[in-house]
Structure 1
Amino acid sequence: MRTEPAEIQCVLGLDVSRDTVTLCDGRTRHTVTIANDADALRTALLPYQGTATLAVCEATGGYEDILLGVLLELAIPAHRADPAKVKAYIKSFGKRAKNDPIDARWLSRYGRDRAATLPRWQPVDLTQQKLELLVARRLDLVAMRVQEQNRLKAPRSRLIADNIRDHLAELERHIEALNAEIDTLVGESRDLALRAEQLRSVPGIGPVLVPLLLAVMPELGTLNRRQVASLAGVAPHPKDSGKASWHRSTTGGRRQIRPALFIAALAACRGDNPLATAYKALLKAAKPKRVALTAIMRKIITIANARVRDALPHQNEIMQLNA
């Protein structure tokens, strides 16, 4: 377990592209461009090993993985920043100029100003990483299937209908194969299997939503009810100013979760369970259906979080007894 200095003395800004990484030393403001290669990065970052240094880079869809691996190897704390937050930070200064050295300097400054509050990057478990990739690929294929189904219904698609049907059949095969691979992966992991079992016990959560929650919300079981609702995009946020007060709206969160929770809420409300009773009570209280369904969505994710949280200590006790 690596320890981090109480006070960061140097922040490295690292602008990552496919082939290169531009490094800015926060103390000297000097920038240098390095090949995005493990050996080259290791040589450039070795002088910072064991110093009170924080490295900041942006999420780039995977091009930063080599850099983060080298930083982990050298025990240099790192933060992988949200590009939207960094962009908003730069915009707040009214600056527009952009190139790799400039971006690296801004990343260094961003890290320096927020070092105390920035979460440190931690490597993702390989099983969790594979699950995330499989679930993301399944979402892509399902979106393609919807597009092809819509094309098949179009009046002018009759001439190419056979081609579209062939593609739909192929997509179905790939989706089924992914479903089988996801089920196998979850079943082989004791932690994922336990979480999946708890999620399946929640009304409305079915075989599609379970792996989605496991992949997109691995934090389930470690958050409070407000945090988990906000992360799922179903928390009502106030919109008040002075004497004016508007209806609270649910915004933000991880975009993949909300549509799936909506389907889960519809399923739960049609069943015979406490959530369906709560939904009917909201309608009886003259709440609009949209508001009532959102409340049920929030209840589903809150219950799921609580059940996973309550099951985890029990699982840890079992593992200690078997050790």
Structure 2
Amino acid sequence: MMAEPTEIQSILGLDVSRDTVTLCDGRRHTVTVANEADALRAALQPYQGTTTLAVCEATGGYEDILLGVLLELAIPAHRADPAKVKAYIASFGKRAKNDPIDARWLSRYGRDRATTLPRWQPADPTQQKLELLVARRLDLVAMRVQEQNRLKAPRSRLIADNIRDHLAELERHIEALNAEIDTLIGESRDLALRAQQLRSVPGVGPVLAPLLLAVIPELGTLNRRQVASLAGVAPHPKDSGKANWHRSTTGGRRQIRPALFIAALAACRGDNPLAVAYKALLKAAKPKRVALTAIMRKIITIANARVRDAVRHQMK
């Protein structure tokens, strides 16, 4: 059983690299072990059954073995956002960096914020696979755009056939990924229900629905402000004293905003309540950019509400 935040008495900072993990238990002493299950199990065994919280950074997958061992030993863990840890260290004006120093900073970061840090939980295998497939599709689509731009370049005539062959290959891979994503969603009752609700929102098509399921798995558990912020369409105030500057929409998960923009364009051209709302905003002299952003925000908040209601109905 995972220890509750109020029970945590010591913090274990773990700096992860491809080959090694450096541990610091809050004191200046550190130890480095191989990033392998047996070595990590031996190093972490003394902390099993204690009120210890392990803190590591997300490293693109190199932390997976460590998190698996921590789960096996029932040691609660937090996988920190590297940007937040970097900002925390910078707030002290420190610049020195190596594995032992980073491990000590992670321990200190965990000590200062232990009561508010969410505990890591293993991802559902189906959700994890969906995230990987959608991420791969985004990569291939970006490659396709690059190749299409190269094909249009005036000096690419001599290699045009090679570019076209590569484009055709990319198209085949993208179509195969689309089919695999659709099959994966169809085989999961929960994902199929969520996808059905998402597709009922004007503007949300076969590309955006899986993207939302993969990038914002929290859909249906958030309020409208939280989901708008995660999607990068929440207007953030920028006021100081008597000065009131223009509120801009920034932040959020970067993959969502471009897709929401396309969805908003599609919704505004259709015959639906969102198109009516868009025309009303234009009639009220709102700039098109502002009106489209408002429709993007409506799409994600409606999607969140419909998924929430469907899941609640299913649980009854």
Which bin holds the TM-score, normalised by the shorter protein? over 0.9
2:271 and 2:9 map into 1 onto residues whose CA distance is 59
- 1:214 aligned counterpart, secondary structure: helix
1:65 and 1:86 map into 2 onto residues whose CA distance is 19
- Residue 217 of structure 1 deviates from its aligned partner by 0.4
1:148 and 1:313 map into 2 onto residues whose CA distance is 45
**How far does the alpha carbon of each residue in 1:149-207 deviate from its partner, in whole angstroms, 9 at most, with x for none?**
00000000000000000000000000000000000000000000000000000000000
Runs of 4+ in structure 1 off by over 6 angstroms are none
* Structure 2 unpaired stretches of 5+: none
**How far does the alpha carbon of each residue in 1:58-84 deviate from its partner, in whole angstroms, 9 at most, with x for none?**
000000000000000111010000001
The structure-2 alpha-carbon separation of the partners of 1:61 and 1:245, relative to structure 1 and needing over 3 Å to count, comes to: same
- Residue 279 of structure 1 deviates from its aligned partner by 0.2
- Residue 41 of structure 1 deviates from its aligned partner by 0.4
- Residue 26 of structure 1 deviates from its aligned partner by 1.1
The structure-2 alpha-carbon separation of the partners of 1:5 and 1:295, relative to structure 1 and needing over 3 Å to count, comes to: closer
The question of 1:191 aligning with 2:166 is answered no
**How far does the alpha carbon of each residue in 1:19-57 deviate from its partner, in whole angstroms, 9 at most, with x for none?**
000000115x32000100001101110110111100000
**How far does the alpha carbon of each residue in 1:83-123 deviate from its partner, in whole angstroms, 9 at most, with x for none?**
01000000000000000000000000000000000111010
Q: Is the 8 A contact 2:5 2:114 kept in 1?
A: no
Q: Is the 8 A contact 1:221 1:309 kept in 2?
A: yes
1:163 and 1:222 map into 2 onto residues whose CA distance is 47
1:5 and 1:51 map into 2 onto residues whose CA distance is 13
Moved more, 212-221 or 6-15: 6-15
1:5 and 1:145 map into 2 onto residues whose CA distance is 46
1:4 and 1:194 map into 2 onto residues whose CA distance is 33
- Residue 4 of structure 1 deviates from its aligned partner by 3.0
- Residue 9 of structure 1 deviates from its aligned partner by 1.1
1:25 and 1:134 map into 2 onto residues whose CA distance is 37
Residue in 1 aligned with 2:172?
173
Equivalent pairs: percent with the same residue? Answer: 93
- Residue 5 of structure 1 deviates from its aligned partner by 6.2
1:6 and 1:292 map into 2 onto residues whose CA distance is 46
Q: Is the 8 A contact 2:24 2:30 kept in 1?
A: yes
Q: Is the 8 A contact 1:200 1:210 kept in 2?
A: yes
Q: Is the 8 A contact 2:220 2:305 kept in 1?
A: yes
In the comparison of the two structures, how many residue pairs are matched?
Answer: 313
* Structure 1 unpaired stretches of 5+: 315-323
Q: Is the 8 A contact 2:5 2:115 kept in 1?
A: no
The structure-2 alpha-carbon separation of the partners of 1:5 and 1:309, relative to structure 1 and needing over 3 Å to count, comes to: closer
Moved more, 5-14 or 60-69: 5-14
Residue in 1 aligned with 2:40?
41
Q: Is the 8 A contact 1:5 1:52 kept in 2?
A: no
- 2:7 aligned counterpart, secondary structure: coil
2:292 and 2:183 map into 1 onto residues whose CA distance is 33
- Residue 6 of structure 1 deviates from its aligned partner by 2.6
Q: Is the 8 A contact 2:13 2:54 kept in 1?
A: yes
- Residue 3 of structure 1 deviates from its aligned partner by 4.2
**How far does the alpha carbon of each residue in 1:236-273 deviate from its partner, in whole angstroms, 9 at most, with x for none?**
00000000001110000000000000000000000000
2:3 and 2:56 map into 1 onto residues whose CA distance is 20
2:7 and 2:105 map into 1 onto residues whose CA distance is 20
- Residue 7 of structure 1 deviates from its aligned partner by 2.8
Q: Is the 8 A contact 1:20 1:35 kept in 2?
A: yes
1:75 and 1:4 map into 2 onto residues whose CA distance is 12
- Residue 301 of structure 1 deviates from its aligned partner by 0.1
1:131 and 1:165 map into 2 onto residues whose CA distance is 29
Residue in 1 aligned with 2:114?
115
Q: Is the 8 A contact 2:201 2:299 kept in 1?
A: yes
- 1:254 aligned counterpart, secondary structure: coil
Q: Is the 8 A contact 1:220 1:309 kept in 2?
A: yes
Q: Is the 8 A contact 2:11 2:25 kept in 1?
A: yes
Q: Is the 8 A contact 2:131 2:214 kept in 1?
A: yes
